[in-house]
Amino acid sequence: MPARPAGQKAIIEAARQEFSEQGYGATSIRDIAQRAGVSLSALYYYKGKQDLLVAILDEGLDAYFDACDEALANAGDDPAQRLEALVSATVRFRTEHPVQSNIVLSEGRSLEPEHIERYHKNEARGTQQFRDVIERGVAEGIFLTPYPDDARRAVIAMCNAIAQWYRTDGPVDIDELVERYVSLALTVVEYRPRTARRRTA
């Protein structure tokens, strides 16, 4: 995505903060303009709140999927390594971008009909990333859960919820949190490391 001009960045950031603090429905264009320190006429680039919400969701989803794609590209072929990569990328993104994450996770319902289909496609893409990895692990016999869909939902839900409660000044740093959540995710799917195959004579 091309870089936005400084004025647009200020407006987007103001909208992001207002939506996060007040909610999309309670935020007005005037609130956004005041927070950005611009006149209402400076928002001419956007048709209204809906355009700003779409821009924020697009940026947040693009950044999240970029992080996941990079993590998967650097992971091995083993399903456990790939699940670790996805969980690590998700935990880091939710902790490092909590405002962006919470808007993406909570304000999709505020989209108008012409925008909701693309949002749902992105939701499906995020779901499919985890589904592919978990189903492959089950097929290869290293994830022993009999409930792969429930396991996927549990892993995604616990990672996403981090954005709501994690504080950088809390007792757990991000690296430790990543380790904990990778361990939890592998426990949920009932991971059993593949045993070495015996060489036949």
> Which pLDDT tens digit goes with each residue over 125-163?
999 999 999 999 999 999 999 999 999 999 999 999 999
What confidence score (pLDDT) does residue 106 get?
A: 86
The tens digit of pLDDT for each residue in 91-107 reads 999 999 998 888 888 88
Alpha helices by DSSP H, listed for 107-147, are: 113-139
- Going by C-beta distance under 8 Å and a sequence separation of 6 or more, which residues neighbour residue 195? none
- Report d(CA 152, CA 164) in Å as an integer: 20
The tens digit of pLDDT for each residue in 161-201 reads 999 999 988 899 999 999 999 999 999 999 988 654 444 44
